[in-house]
Amino acid sequence: MINIKDLEKIYRTEEVETIALNKLTLEVKEGEFVAIMGPSGCGKSTLLNILGLLDDPDSGSFIFNNIEVAHFNERKRADLRKHNIGFVFQSFNLIDELTVFENVELPLIYTGVKAAERKKKVEEVLDKVQIMHRRNHYPQQLSGGQQQRVAVARAVVNNPKLILADEPTGNLDSSNGNEVMQLLTELNEQGTTIVMVTHSEHDARYSHRIIRMLDGQTVTQNILI
């Protein structure tokens, strides 16, 4: 599903040049659950942003579903993103002014799904993450674990092929963290490819494969199953 070759990303300021990704090469197969680990500043988040088409690389090739997307313009990237990729962030990133239902509904609005179908899909997914009873609440009225479940619901409501999770349990206690990891595992078992950046060895063990990064390169790969 993801095929990356010699990917480079360099951040330049007037004085310093920081190489975030250094000729990185990586492959993720459809249905895989991959964890990316490494110390702060090794390029994990940059890689995730490029995979999520939120950022573009300076050079190298990025093939997503057999299409070269490295140099897509903003409109094409947005289009590909909204149909194929779901995001789960450490800080949940829910919109405070929208209710649980409305937050989850948002990706469907951007993909142009009709209101009746949206309602059906949102309710289904809220049921799945067991947050249906909180559908009319605002994010600040929920606990961290509940907020992350809403974020997961939002990430999957469009049935994306790929979920990118950036330290999804970073702001949660262990019991809520485990619940979220369980949810991701279930999604993976249903066929969704998951790429997760994490600092937690515990969470990483939910994945099939751990990629360790250092200085913008992959250094080791541990296959867990």
109 binds other proteins (CB under 8 A): yes
Q: Looking at beta carbons only, is 83 or 209 nearer to other proteins?
A: 83
Give the one residue of 13, 17, 40, 75 binding other proteins; rule: CB under 8 A.
75
For residue 5, what are the β-bridge partners?
61
Please report, to the nearest 10 degrees, the dihedral formed by the alpha carbons of residues 171, 172, 173, 174 taken in order.
-110
56 binds other proteins (CB under 8 A): no
Nearer to other proteins, 2 or 88 (CB): 88
- Regarding 168 and contact with other proteins (CB under 8 A), the answer is no
CB atoms within 10 A of CB 193: 22
Per rule CB under 8 A, is residue 52 in the interface with other proteins? yes
Pairing of strands 67-68, 17-28: unpaired
Number of residues lying near other proteins (CB under 8 A):
25
Tell me phi and psi for residue 165, to 5 degrees. -120, 125
Q: Which of 5, 22, 31, 102 binds other proteins (CB under 8 A)?
A: 102
Q: Judged by CB, which is closer to other proteins: 14, or 225?
A: 14
Q: Which is nearer to other proteins, 82 or 121 (CB)?
A: 82
Among candidate residues 134, 199, 189, the one with its CA nearest the CA of residue 208: 189
The beta strand positions in 29-180, using DSSP E, are 33-37, 59-64, 67-68, 85-89, 162-166
Does residue 122 sit in helix, strand or coil? helix
Considering the rule CB under 8 A, would residue 82 count as an interface residue with other proteins? yes
Euclidean distance between CA atoms 40 and 143, whole angstroms: 27
- How near is the Cβ of 84 to other proteins at its closest, in Å? 10
Quote the DSSP letter at residue 200: -
14: contact with other proteins by CB under 8 A: no
Contact between 154 and other proteins by CB under 8 A: the answer reads: yes
Closest to other proteins by CB, 55 vs 123, is 55
Q: Check binding of 171 to other proteins (CB under 8 A).
A: no
On the CB side of 84, how many CA atoms lie within 13 Å of its CA? 17
Report the interface residues with other proteins, using CB under 8 A: 49, 52, 54-55, 74-75, 78-79, 81-83, 87, 89, 93-95, 97-98, 102, 106-107, 109-111, 154
